[in-house]
Structure 1
């Protein structure tokens, strides 16, 4: 399975100033638009977690691409709480015992602080990656921030840059208290975790990538390397006895010291021979209760002398309807656990952040229950509506349907892990033929080296996958992400059996490449168009003109980028728009008006012959989501994104064909969606990328 769902594109994407037409809208006193979550829970990596120090049911989790989520009912329901975050990649969390509403989250952009229980966040400026690099980073950060349990002013940070920092003013200023220089020009090895003893806060321990555990006994003034394996992932002091320490060391297992780190013993009884370990945790109420997570979940009730495995998870198939790990089975395993945390008011209650499904236990880890409803990190790639039903596709998860306007969802495919169909799904097309929804979606399977189409002719009751007529290899020449993906899909509005598929990748010697493929049987078989645009590097840009089915538009990126047009069904192509070299998406209205999105929004009212810019959108972003109201041609919605984990983006609406724009980003937790779809049946605009949301219009 892919572990990273976002791939950077080389563009300048940091400008944030709003044009005057937007500033005027933003200055009004009208309440901010309110979005409603309408997706499911899960869909990615729950990376970090921490309990509130005093409120029994309150837990925080850090999402790999979605920011921070919070629950107040022991994980039964969650809400994304990103107000003020500058970055959505949240890889480490810490809470302040002395000031229980103070929370810290380490993101790829730096350390953020909240003093109101995650209702709002503030970036601590000096911690940014370009400055001190007190960041949370994928595959480096395990538990990288620690607050002194006896003094909330004091913080420690173990950084990916191989340094330990200390702050004595709640993170406003920092000083380096430990670093290990690398030989020559080699980059310093990362530090993964840091912990402070509650019994004796002068004791601080950090887990490093090449020096094992390092210990300070004087609150960070001096440090010494301990006699442990050299690659450490985490360490912990027993709550009531600071001489008792535990460490986790990836493939080198679990170790314990009873003399403040002077000597160490490897704990092996009951530990699987090939297990690797990421984090160790000791119950704050009973030093004998110890937990270790990594490739498995282990529980010890005798201080580490013996261990037993406990990783069976009772799945919540309503809250998270996806089926890859468990199919229709009511139980699965906890997969790739990342952090484990205790409820301080009831240490028998634990929570594990992990891949796909988060886990809660109320009995000390004997049984585990999936709990992440509302903690949505699904990467939605398309949304479609048909007679009261909503359909979506998502990276990693597949194709799903809701028959109650987004309250609940049901997986259409895949229904279990299948090498041919499990993976990233892109666009979806839904058309009603003879009263039945015909569904077509395109996929990039994880573990099969061929792109394919999955389709259903009976409303999703059954499905078939096909590669008929598609490339027998994965194109790599002139692709957006290093290899071709079938990200674009367009149906002929005048004949729903005719479907076009866009797969990026130029032809090479002896290989036909990607480009545009045509199906005349609803997606069952495909044929590559004999002639192709001069660039086949694309994102979502493919559309058929409803006023003339032979007129097709293709959005290309980089060299020969822009909009390409055919007026003879693909026999010949011409480049008709070159004002921008990256065109991310194309949308054609029923009247034949064409919109394309680059760094700005562009419109053509003469079938692509001439183009004009539609207003002046905020600079330094990419227009990816484009939608129009089928009942009112003057109403247009667009979304802007940036191609990294930053929170720079927005959603905008015009009701006068672009003369003025309204910022309707409002309180949506993820401000830069890539998919916008309007449902005229409910007068709702739906938004998708990280998470699925909707708003009345």
Structure 2
């Protein structure tokens, strides 16, 4: 998502009409897994209970060791869960550290309350105090410490430690302003179990200790090669034994990363990296061996685990001799069973947790997978999805994908096509009970649009590209309902090498059909031979930025195209052959979606995000034009309206979807809303079962127009009926 900086902050949404929630029973569906596991916590109270925190999906809880999960986002105001901590005596009390602040649950994670009293004021376009780590005093569990910063991108530090002495109800910055550098991002924080006043802290400036409850801090780095410390693990039975991980500077020799150990409470350190991969590469830090998270056995300080987070050192490593030698326990070739369906990324370990009830049980999280071992790392099992013998995937309840588009096959209601970020195309032949993953080919990692051939049920066209590379893309076709794909729109056939993000099948006035696509930074292209050859269309300039393309369902030769950066609209009345500038979008925010009424091509609904052009800010929301775009009426104010859909059979029924960008405090969208009177009034469809309100797409089932498929930016797909 993009990050916009503006001078003013507006309310998230202002809705007209009756705002009573329409009771839709939403069901979460998907393949399981596929998104970033940001944090993981094995319960200290129950051997088979584990909590998982996603970077976009919120909180998940399993009561059977990762066999099944429930998602618990009630009360969360952001879905990025950096860390979690359990009350040492009361299993019902759980804390979550997110980018907006600290949340507390009194019912085992089922619902959450934000605890921000004492933290900086909420910010609309930045993070005021992102929580990086939490630690609870085991002697007095009402005392909690929170570190500030964002360890994953290694930024947004404030050199701050906050403390609460009343279970999180109130907070205050506890450290003085001189003992920790002002830009330090705290990566780990721990209380000495023997002394509540004694704390340990890790950051990019070293290992620090406090003996006065976090007020003043002293750096203790004797024996360390540099100061960039990442994580720590303290042995419960012998708390003077501490392990830390060090960040290795890319391209610098000798290698200076790995694991270090202290046997005197962090006063002195020695290298404990025997057997770890120590390769050094130039360029990305992921080409130099890196180790991050650590777990140490609570009774035996010589047994420890660490996770490799670089491409060249991925996997879980185990030592049984205090770091003298490490052996790879989990790697690409020995995960059992196989690798799950996420077999295209290596196991870069982002988080790890060991069960205190049974230290042979560990959980490891990666950018797409969850793995668990129940025998001290001898064998590992995927714990995020069920991979069936024929290659299909079935969910365990852990849904954490970001969906771009969803389609229902026009002739088979059980066949669903889901385009997702990072994992390509997912196909279901049983209405979402199971899925298959399809990877069309190099440079085609993301599907931006699918078009079904009305004359051949097995024939589908797709507009492909890469999420983070606008210079890659192609048009491809499938002759077997999406299972395999062949590129047909390439530089050799007339389409420049760039992202193709829109695709429509238009009809000429003589009844012949034409494929029309937008090529980012290059313009609009058309094909009159089902995609075998392409030519640029006249009348639309080749400009920087992306485009929005919309067809009029009731008039197939009528198309609209919006250049987002310039906020200008173009119109074609000859199925995309020629275009002319039309309408007036100067009072609208950035166009995110455009829907043309099937009853009247001059009536259009627009979903816009707030934008700033020059010195003027424009509010986002839902707008309607009934004169071809010459004038617009504001229906709803909303900073991030992203989706607008008109029911093809009843143009009075309109659906709107809202999201938010993830770069500021409290970034939950406004969910899904419905109008039954052409936009005059709106009702939310946000039942509690729709537990992700960042909406990326809405699809009306053509076989049952009361059934909606709603894609989200973090919990995959939801399906429900609007009665």
With the length of structure 1 as denominator, give the TM-score of the two structures.
Answer: 0.85
Determine whether 1:15 maps to 2:11. Answer: yes
Change (3 A) 1:501 1:116: same
Q: Is the 8 A contact 2:121 2:128 kept in 1?
A: no
C-alpha distance in 1, partners of 2:5/2:17? Answer: 28
Change (3 A) 1:385 1:524: farther
5 Å matches for 1:1-150? 6-10=1-5, 14-16=10-12, 18-23=14-19, 25-26=20-21, 32-126=23-117, 130=121, 135-136=129-130, 141=132, 144-150=133-139
- Gap regions ≥5 residues in structure 2: 150-157, 249-256, 280-288, 385-395, 609-619
Q: Is the 8 A contact 1:199 1:241 kept in 2?
A: no
Determine whether 1:305 maps to 2:313. Answer: no
Q: For this pair of structures, how many residues does the alignment match?
A: 644
Q: Is the 8 A contact 2:490 2:497 kept in 1?
A: no
Is the partner of 2:538 in helix, strand or coil? coil
Q: Is the 8 A contact 2:538 2:579 kept in 1?
A: no
C-alpha distance in 2, partners of 1:14/1:685? Answer: 30
Query: In the alignment, what sits opposite 2:285?
Result: none
Is the partner of 2:405 in helix, strand or coil? strand
C-alpha distance in 2, partners of 1:406/1:257? Answer: 51
Query: In the alignment, what sits opposite 2:605?
Result: 595
C-alpha distance in 2, partners of 1:602/1:320? Answer: 44
Query: In the alignment, what sits opposite 1:481?
Result: none
Change (3 A) 1:74 1:247: same
Of the three residues 306, 321, 324, the one matched with 2:344 is 324
Q: Is the 8 A contact 1:562 1:580 kept in 2?
A: no
Q: Is the 8 A contact 1:199 1:239 kept in 2?
A: no
5 Å matches for 1:518-537? 518-532=526-540, 537=545
Query: In the alignment, what sits opposite 2:449?
Result: 427
Query: In the alignment, what sits opposite 2:717?
Result: 692
Is the partner of 2:361 in helix, strand or coil? strand
C-alpha distance in 2, partners of 1:182/1:490? Answer: 61
C-alpha distance in 2, partners of 1:177/1:258? Answer: 28
Query: In the alignment, what sits opposite 2:683?
Result: 662
Of the three residues 363, 366, 373, the one matched with 2:378 is 366
Q: Is the 8 A contact 1:381 1:426 kept in 2?
A: yes
Shift of 1:693: 0.9
5 Å matches for 1:552-567? 552-559=559-566, 561-567=567-573
5 Å matches for 1:372-387? 372=384, 373-386=396-409, 387=412
Of the three residues 466, 471, 479, the one matched with 1:444 is 466
C-alpha distance in 1, partners of 2:565/2:34? Answer: 31
Query: In the alignment, what sits opposite 1:356?
Result: 368
Query: In the alignment, what sits opposite 2:390?
Result: none
Q: Is the 8 A contact 1:499 1:520 kept in 2?
A: yes
Q: Any idea what the Cα deviations from partners look like across 1:387-430, whole Å, max 9, x if unmatched?
A: 1311111111111211011111111224xxx6433x33322223
Shift of 1:197: 2.9
C-alpha distance in 2, partners of 1:245/1:213? Answer: 11
Q: Is the 8 A contact 1:533 1:573 kept in 2?
A: no
Of the three residues 497, 502, 505, the one matched with 2:518 is 502
Of the three residues 154, 157, 160, the one matched with 2:143 is 154
Change (3 A) 1:666 1:577: farther
Determine whether 1:242 maps to 2:231. Answer: no
Which stretch of structure 1 is more off in the superposition, 348-357 or 446-455? 446-455
Is the partner of 1:150 in helix, strand or coil? coil
Determine whether 1:224 maps to 2:218. Answer: yes
Q: Is the 8 A contact 2:544 2:565 kept in 1?
A: no
Query: In the alignment, what sits opposite 1:629?
Result: 647
C-alpha distance in 1, partners of 2:130/2:561? Answer: 39
- Gap regions ≥5 residues in structure 1: 1-5, 326-332, 475-484, 506-513
Is the partner of 2:187 in helix, strand or coil? strand
Determine whether 1:576 maps to 2:583. Answer: yes
Change (3 A) 1:399 1:256: same
C-alpha distance in 2, partners of 1:536/1:259? Answer: 59
Is the partner of 1:101 in helix, strand or coil? coil
Q: Any idea what the Cα deviations from partners look like across 1:238-262, whole Å, max 9, x if unmatched?
A: 1111111111112221111111122
C-alpha distance in 2, partners of 1:165/1:601? Answer: 41
Change (3 A) 1:499 1:612: same
Change (3 A) 1:284 1:199: farther
With the length of structure 2 as denominator, give the TM-score of the two structures.
Answer: 0.82
Of structures 1 and 2, the one scoring higher in RCO (CA 8 A, sep 6+) is 2
C-alpha distance in 2, partners of 1:207/1:151? Answer: 23
Query: In the alignment, what sits opposite 2:435?
Result: 409
Q: Is the 8 A contact 2:361 2:376 kept in 1?
A: yes
Determine whether 1:393 maps to 2:382. Answer: no
Aligned-residue CA RMSD (Å): 3.0
Q: Is the 8 A contact 1:535 1:557 kept in 2?
A: no
C-alpha distance in 2, partners of 1:341/1:487? Answer: 40
Change (3 A) 1:95 1:290: same
Which stretch of structure 1 is more off in the superposition, 234-243 or 620-629? 620-629
Q: Is the 8 A contact 1:647 1:671 kept in 2?
A: yes
Q: Is the 8 A contact 2:179 2:218 kept in 1?
A: no
Shift of 1:652: 0.5
Determine whether 1:280 maps to 2:277. Answer: no
Shift of 1:686: 0.7
Q: Any idea what the Cα deviations from partners look like across 1:523-560, whole Å, max 9, x if unmatched?
A: 44432213206966445x2112234333211133343x
Q: Is the 8 A contact 1:182 1:189 kept in 2?
A: no
Which stretch of structure 1 is more off in the superposition, 595-604 or 100-109? 595-604
